Amino acid sequence: MGDADRAFKDAVYEQIARVGRAVAHPRRLELLDLLCQGPMTVEQLARKSALPMGSASQHLQHLKEARLVRGERHGTYVVYRLHDDLVCTLFHTLREVAEQYYADMRSVTETFFADHQALEPVDVDTLRERWEKDAVVILDVRPPEEYAAGHWPGALSVPLETLAGRLADLPRDRTIVAYCRGPYCVLAAHAVGVLRREGFRAERLAGGVGEWRARGLLLVRGDQTEPDQGKGRNDGS
């Protein structure tokens, strides 16, 4: 291999390594996971990730320098968003590799959800079938701004912190299926616990908005509960 060949390869792999260095921190991965839900301000990201504002800003700067995220100023706020959907795909790929190869990840996950009596989630195909039969009520227990950025058709926005005050509005003759940001988001597990303690039939939904977008499933934006194509349609067309 000549010097020119070696220099070319070094340059290419250095650019790929920029991505690896940018995501080589657990809190940056959490920020990417949050941004898969939709654009957020630094303040929102800091609050949701339990990071000090300064730390959140520093992590976002690393991600911005690697061109994985971009910031847009809106008045006195800077709103961050993923550079494009490919970044969310990168995060999901990293997560799937960890799920496949690391027993510790499976063990921690199984223990947490078993403790919250929410180990076995409902899959998307089962939910679609039961929704068509009007057998379930779907709750999006994420914060309202994440619901507005994209949610499952027919889902009601009931943020976890408001759930206890909304129980009287929920039917007891149907199963309640709660979802949040993804398979490791704890909001849905806590929601299932609240509902079951109050005598509801409750389950959590596998996956989240990022996974559904990757699969091409139809999501709804804003405050709507139904897509334009009609109730229950979620086939990605």
Residues serving a catalytic function are 180
Tokens linked to 209: 């908005």
Contact 34, 46 (CB under 8 A): no
Alpha-helical segments (H) within the chain:
3-22, 26-35, 42-49, 53-65, 85-101, 103-115, 124-132, 144-149, 187-197, 209-214
Looking at the DSSP assignment, which residues form a beta bridge with residue 204?
178
CA distances 204 to 95, 156, 170, Å, are 20, 14, 16
Strand partners, 73: 78
Q: Which helix (H) or strand (E) holds 175?
A: strand 175-179
Q: How far apart are CA 1 and CA 32, in angstroms?
A: 39
- Dist CA 188 CA 84 (whole Å): 26
The answer to whether residues 70 and 80 touch, using CB atoms and an 8 Å cutoff, is: yes
